[in-house]
């Protein structure tokens, strides 16, 4: 089995730690989870079996009623998705972050990240209080980051470790009104060209010195626009 598309509930957990599953789970390349009602999208006991996983999608296909509101953590901090290339998360309104910083260090092959309509998402990477690994967080193949309709998002990463994003080219930030900065630590993104500030791909990219400065400028411009709108309404 190469592709697995499933739903999981406490009464009927699809992904379990039984030995009988370990062999076929090792062959799964694409995993899509719909309507997760478990605290973890993937139980840590079976994560070691998914060593060949290339693409992970977690979403709620019903956009009216969120069935992923119980999902609070995508994966356990010790997980190694060393072969994961594409990550897509949509309509998971219980998620406050995707990965811890230690788990992020394992995503050495990640190329694309799509995070859409997760209303409780505050940050993409969360720093662990008792993290034993130090040093920079490297995303050496990550070229695309899409952050769309994340009303609670404050930043991509709130920790102090340096982010190495040497291949990052495309960043889309749309309807993230509370995002004030990208990272509170240093960022090395030599290939970064700018931020796409809307869904219109023809719109000119926004760029101010670097990635952090660009996000901060976008937030300040948003505040100025909102204040001007309030003043205009008062005058009228």
| Residue 19, pLDDT score | 53
Residue 41 lies in a domain: no
Residue 147 lies in a domain: yes
Strand order in the sheet with 170-174: 3-7, 30-34, 55-59, 86-90, 112-116, 144-148, 170-174, 194-196
pTM of the model: 0.76
Residue 110 lies in a domain: yes
Give the dihedral of Cα atoms 180, 86, 162, 150; nearest 10 deg: 10
Cα–Cα distance for residue pair 40/73, rounded to 1 Å: 5
| Residue 51, pLDDT score | 67
Reported as a single tens digit per residue, the pLDDT across 12-22 is 444 554 455 66
Residues of the chain with pLDDT under 70: 1-24, 33-55, 57-81, 130-134, 233-234, 236
| Residue 128, pLDDT score | 78
Domains contained in the chain, number: 1
Residue 77 lies in a domain: no
Residue 168 lies in a domain: yes
Residue 160 lies in a domain: yes
| Residue 83, pLDDT score | 79
| Residue 13, pLDDT score | 47
Strand order in the sheet with 155-157: 99-100, 123-126, 155-157
Could you tell me the residue range of the domain that residue 170 belongs to? 96-235
Residue 67 lies in a domain: no
Residue 145 lies in a domain: yes
| Residue 71, pLDDT score | 52
């Amino acid at each position: 089995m190469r592709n697995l598309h499933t739903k999981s509930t406490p009464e009927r957990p699809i992904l379990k730690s039984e030995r009988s599953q370990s062999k076929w789970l090792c062959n799964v390349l694409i995993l899509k989870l719909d309507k997760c009602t478990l605290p973890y999208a993937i139980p840590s006991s079976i994560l070691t079996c998914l060593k060949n996983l290339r693409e992970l999608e977690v979403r709620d296909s019903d956009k009216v009623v969120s069935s992923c509101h119980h999902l609070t953590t995508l994966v356990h901090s010790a997980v190694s998705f060393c072969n994961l290339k594409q990550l897509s998360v949509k309509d998971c309104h219980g998620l406050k972050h995707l990965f811890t910083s230690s788990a992020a260090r394992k995503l050495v092959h990640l190329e694309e990240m799509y995070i859409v309509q997760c209303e409780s998402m505050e940050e993409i990477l969360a720093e662990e209080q008792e993290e034993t690994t130090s040093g920079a967080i490297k995303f050496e193949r990550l070229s695309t980051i899409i952050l769309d309709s994340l009303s609670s998002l404050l930043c991509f990463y709130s920790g102090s470790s340096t982010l190495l994003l040497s291949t990052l080219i495309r960043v889309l930030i749309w309807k993230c009104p509370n995002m004030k900065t990208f990272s509170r630590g240093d960022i090395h993104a030599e290939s970064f060209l700018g931020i796409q500030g809307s869904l219109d791909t023809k719109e000119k990219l926004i760029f101010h010195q670097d990635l952090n400065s660009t996000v901060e400028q976008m937030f300040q411009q948003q505040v100025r626009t909102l204040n001007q709108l309030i003043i205009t309404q008062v005058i009228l």
